[in-house]
Structure 1
Amino acid sequence: MEGPRSPNEAELPHVLEFLNQKLRNEAPWSIAAEYPTAFNRNNLHNMRIIADEGKVLSHAVLKPLIIKSPHVIFKVGAIGSVVTHDEHRGQGLSTQIVKDCLKMATEQSCDIAILWTDLFDFYRRMGFELAGNEVSFVIEEEFEANNEGLRFSTDPRVSPDAIYRLYSSHSINSVRTIEETKKFLSIPQTKVYTAWESNGQLAAYAIEGKGIDLGGYLHEWGGSVSKLMALFSFIRMQKGQPVTVICPRHATNLIQQLEKLPVTKNHGFLGMIKLVNFDQLSAKIKRAFRAEGVADIVLEKHPTQYVFGIGTDLYTINKETDMVRLLFGPVDYRAMDMFKPETLDKLEKILPLPLWIWGWDSI
């Protein structure tokens, strides 16, 4: 048995065959079509396998992302497609391979690692914790919105440049290229909804579905709030059934408009997050606070605990997973009565960190 290691180029077809059998057995497409930026030769060095006599036994992939936000530029290591052959489960192979992905994430200067799973206890043993914020709205009924003279379309043949232009206007997004946007638009089971100005300019877009995942979920969208609401109205009418819009918590204007509709609102987590380069992340956070005029921010890691606060108003945190939830949410500082009111006012200039990862970037 050898590994964890990256597969060589000649092994890539065999790795994809293993993943298709284990994770996409009933899909008529390859998993590489669903995750075109993760499963390609340019990311081969971030794929990890454990093999025995040429047979793949276990796999995971790391996809580094650069996430821009108003205060901090994060480097995030997204981990996905973690799977072990049925006959070799219970031997610790998945644990080995995930830990190797974390080692790579550390070596590649990622601040944090993130993954999406329902195996919470398994990943908690490796230091991951549910954190971050996600708000979803199930639009239960059709509704009217001012269409502002827009033309709506379900034609998937949309210029990647036009999508990229609106995507780039988000205050928090991952760094993408137009070529990557083109690949994302080609993912199987992707439905593209668009709204167009009378002059032919793209005004808003929304993306539903991603391979076998996210059917019925609008997981990527862009445009002004009024144009998006008009587009959501069109989508709900077109589908003739409820549709769910996934939002970051910082999309306050859109959230306020959606809350006026007959919707079911749900609060969730962004994913399972683990700190991998705390000192690097801490330095970024401290710079962000200083830029806001808060020079006495304390965010330190000691051998057995973390110390966090402003000036002499400090709080001691014993578990790394608690630190994750304090930095990225959903911990409510005020409800926990952790700090003085004036300290809370300063902390809330930056925290919780507004991290968001759009649907196309999940792996």
Structure 2
Amino acid sequence: MEGPRSPREAELPQVLDFLNKKLRSEAPWSIAAEYPTAFTANNLHNMRIISDEERVLSHAVMKPLIIKSPHVIFKVGAIGSVVTDDQHRGQGLSTRVINDCLKLATEQSCDIAILWTDLFDFYRKMGFELAGSEISFIIDEEFDVPTSNLRFSTDSKVSPDAIYRLYSSHSVNSVRTIEETRKFLAIPETKVYTAWEANGQLAAYAIEGKGVDLGGYIHEWGGSVSKLMALFSFIRTHKAQPYTIIVPKHATNLIEQLKAKPVMMNQGFLGMIKFVNFDQLAAKIKRAFRAEGVADIVLEKHPDNFVFGCGQDLYTINNETDMVRLLFGPVDYRALGIFKEETVQKFEKVLPLNLWVWGWDSI
């Protein structure tokens, strides 16, 4: 066996064929069409394979993301498309390619790694833990909103520049280009819903579906809350069936508006997260607290534990996975009952960290 290693450019078609057969056997398109920024020649150095006699046996890919939030600019290594040939499972090949992706994330100065899976126990063995927050709203019934002069459309031929303008207004987003937005709009099974002002300006947009993933889920959206609510109302009427909207916890105004409608609300995790460079992340978090006027935050990693708190109000965290949840949530510091109220109030200026990965960026 050879690897883990990066595939050569001439091997890319072979790698994609392996992934299509293992992960997209019933789809009429290539997996590269679903992840146009991950499976390209430009990202070959972040793909990892194990091969044997020119056969691909195992694969994983890492896509670095720069995510901006009000307090911290994160560098995140998103890991996905992890698969091993059926006849070679149980040999630790997936673990090897994932660990090599984590090595790549370390070399490229990522703060954390994130992945999306339901194999929780498998990834916990490598230090990943369910963390972060994701709120989903199932729109069960049609609902009305105040009359607007908006025009609604389901035409997918939308200017990437217009989508990019609204996307860029989010307080937490990953750094994209207009060209990347153009590629995302071309992903198979992507439904685009838009609301337009009378002057022809895009007022709101919502994206449903992403290839074989996220069908029935609005996973990308942009625009003011009032315009979005009008668009969501239109979508429910147009579809004539329930659908789900995925929302970050910091979208408080939108959440309050949705909760007032006939919906079902579910709280979940953003994904499975692992520290890649804790000291680098801790330095960013401390800078964020100083910017909020809090200079006595303690966030230190020791050989056997972490020390966390404010001033003399400190607590020892023995498990890295517990530390992940303390920083990214979901956590109620008051419910923990281990910190003083004044410490909790200081924490709440920055923590839990606002981290969100929009659906188009997931891999």
Shared fold by TM > 0.5?
yes
Aligned position for 2:356: 356
Aligned position for 2:61: 61
Q: Report the alpha carbon displacement of residue 60 of structure 1 after superposing the two structures with TM.
A: 0.1
**C-alpha distance in structure 2 between counterparts of 1:15 and 1:174, whole Å:** 27
Checking the alignment, whether the CA contact within 8 Å between 1:67 and 1:173 is kept in structure 2 is yes
Other structure's SS at 1:254 match:
helix
Aligned position for 2:177: 177
Aligned position for 2:231: 231
Residues 163-188 of structure 1 deviation map (CA, whole Å, 9 limit, x = unaligned): 00000000000000000000000000
Aligned position for 2:222: 222
Q: Report the alpha carbon displacement of residue 332 of structure 1 after superposing the two structures with TM.
A: 1.1
Aligned position for 2:83: 83
Residues 336-358 of structure 1 deviation map (CA, whole Å, 9 limit, x = unaligned): 11200000000100000010000
After superposition, the CA RMSD in angstroms is: 0.4
Aligned position for 1:97: 97
**C-alpha distance in structure 2 between counterparts of 1:242 and 1:334, whole Å:** 36
**C-alpha distance in structure 2 between counterparts of 1:207 and 1:295, whole Å:** 41
Q: Report the alpha carbon displacement of residue 145 of structure 1 after superposing the two structures with TM.
A: 1.0
Aligned position for 1:140: 140
Residues 240-278 of structure 1 deviation map (CA, whole Å, 9 limit, x = unaligned): 000111000000000000000111000000000000100
Code of the residue aligned with 1:340 in structure 2: it is K
1:144-183 equivalences under 5 Å are: 144-183=144-183
Which TM-score applies when normalising by structure 1?
Answer: 1.00
Count of paired positions: 363
Q: Report the alpha carbon displacement of residue 113 of structure 1 after superposing the two structures with TM.
A: 0.1
1:335-354 equivalences under 5 Å are: 335-354=335-354
Residues 177-212 of structure 1 deviation map (CA, whole Å, 9 limit, x = unaligned): 000000000000000000000000000000000000
**C-alpha distance in structure 2 between counterparts of 1:315 and 1:7, whole Å:** 45
Code of the residue aligned with 2:128 in structure 1: it is F
Aligned position for 2:248: 248
**C-alpha distance in structure 1 between counterparts of 2:308 and 2:256, whole Å:** 32
**C-alpha distance in structure 2 between counterparts of 1:95 and 1:300, whole Å:** 28
Aligned position for 1:9: 9
Aligned position for 1:314: 314
**C-alpha distance in structure 2 between counterparts of 1:6 and 1:90, whole Å:** 22
Other structure's SS at 2:207 match:
strand
Other structure's SS at 2:26 match:
coil
**C-alpha distance in structure 1 between counterparts of 2:323 and 2:147, whole Å:** 45
Code of the residue aligned with 1:130 in structure 2: it is L
1:297 matched to 2:297? The reply is yes
Q: Which runs of 5+ in 2 are unaligned?
A: none
- The 1:7–1:147 alpha-carbon spacing in structure 2 relative to 1, beyond 3 Å, is farther
Which TM-score applies when normalising by structure 2?
Answer: 1.00
Residues 44-77 of structure 1 deviation map (CA, whole Å, 9 limit, x = unaligned): 1000000001000000000000000000000000
Q: Report the alpha carbon displacement of residue 23 of structure 1 after superposing the two structures with TM.
A: 0.1
Checking the alignment, whether the CA contact within 8 Å between 1:147 and 1:227 is kept in structure 2 is no
**C-alpha distance in structure 2 between counterparts of 1:146 and 1:82, whole Å:** 46
Q: Report the alpha carbon displacement of residue 146 of structure 1 after superposing the two structures with TM.
A: 2.2
**C-alpha distance in structure 1 between counterparts of 2:331 and 2:302, whole Å:** 22
1:327-342 equivalences under 5 Å are: 327-342=327-342
Checking the alignment, whether the CA contact within 8 Å between 1:131 and 1:330 is kept in structure 2 is yes
**C-alpha distance in structure 2 between counterparts of 1:218 and 1:292, whole Å:** 34
Checking the alignment, whether the CA contact within 8 Å between 1:77 and 1:112 is kept in structure 2 is yes
* TM superposition outliers: structure 1 runs of 4+ over 2 Å: none
1:272-283 equivalences under 5 Å are: 272-283=272-283
Code of the residue aligned with 1:291 in structure 2: it is A
**C-alpha distance in structure 1 between counterparts of 2:262 and 2:145, whole Å:** 13
Code of the residue aligned with 2:14 in structure 1: it is H
Code of the residue aligned with 1:187 in structure 2: it is I
Q: Report the alpha carbon displacement of residue 147 of structure 1 after superposing the two structures with TM.
A: 4.2
**C-alpha distance in structure 1 between counterparts of 2:315 and 2:107, whole Å:** 30
**C-alpha distance in structure 2 between counterparts of 1:163 and 1:301, whole Å:** 41
